[in-house]
Amino acid sequence: MTEAPVTIDAMTGQLRALGVGAGGVLLVHTSFRAVRPVEGGPGGLIAALQAAVGPEGTLVMPSWTDRDDAPFDPAADRANTDLGVVADIFWRLPGVLRSDHPFAFAARGPKAAALLADPLPLPPHIPASPVGRVHDLDGQVLLLGVGHDADTTIHLAELIASVPYGVEHHVTVASAGGPARIAYRENDHCCRRFALVGDWLDARGLQRRGKVGHADALLARSRAVVAVATEALARDPLVFLHAPEDGCAECDAARASIAA
Q: Does 108 bind Zn ion (CB under 5 A)?
A: no
Least distance to Zn ion, CB of residue 165, Å: 11
* Comparison of 91 and 194: residue with beta carbon closer to Zn ion: 194
* Comparison of 135 and 242: residue with beta carbon closer to Zn ion: 242
Least distance to Zn ion, CB of residue 242, Å: 4
| 175-183 LR contacts (CB < 8 Å, sep 24+) | 179/70, 179/71, 181/69, 182/120, 182/122
* Comparison of 35 and 248: residue with beta carbon closer to Zn ion: 248
> By rule CB under 5 A, what string of x and - marks binding of each residue 144-183 to Zn ion?
----------------------------------------
Q: How many beta carbons lie within 10 A of that of residue 232, not counting itself? A: 17
d(CA 179, CA 177): 7
* Residue of 209, 251, 204 whose CA lies nearest to 227: 204
Beta strands in 6-139 (DSSP E): 25-30, 58-62, 97-98, 105-108
Residue 161 phi/psi, 5-degree rounding, is -85, 0
Q: How many beta carbons lie within 10 A of that of residue 69, not counting itself? A: 9
Which parts of 218-247 interact with Zn ion (CB under 5 A)?
242
Least distance to Zn ion, CB of residue 30, Å: 23
Least distance to Zn ion, CB of residue 250, Å: 5
* Comparison of 142 and 157: residue with beta carbon closer to Zn ion: 157
* Comparison of 101 and 242: residue with beta carbon closer to Zn ion: 242
* Comparison of 88 and 149: residue with beta carbon closer to Zn ion: 149
Least distance to Zn ion, CB of residue 189, Å: 5
d(CA 42, CA 85): 7
* Comparison of 190 and 224: residue with beta carbon closer to Zn ion: 190
By CB under 5 A, name the one of 190, 228, 229, 233 that touches Zn ion. Answer: 190
Instruction: Kindly determine how many residues on this chain lie close enough to bind Zn ion according to the rule CB under 5 A.
Output: 4
d(CA 249, CA 189): 9
* Residue of 134, 160, 162, 149 whose CA lies nearest to 57: 134
By CB under 5 A, name the one of 187, 248, 255, 257 that touches Zn ion. Answer: 248
Please state at what angle helix 8-18 crosses helix 41-53, rounded to 10 degrees. Answer: 50
SS (H, E, C) 7-38: CHHHHHHHHHHHCCCCCCEEEEEECHHHHCCE
By CB under 5 A, name the one of 15, 38, 159, 251 that touches Zn ion. Answer: 251
- Residue ranges in contact with Zn ion by CB under 5 A: 190, 242, 248, 251
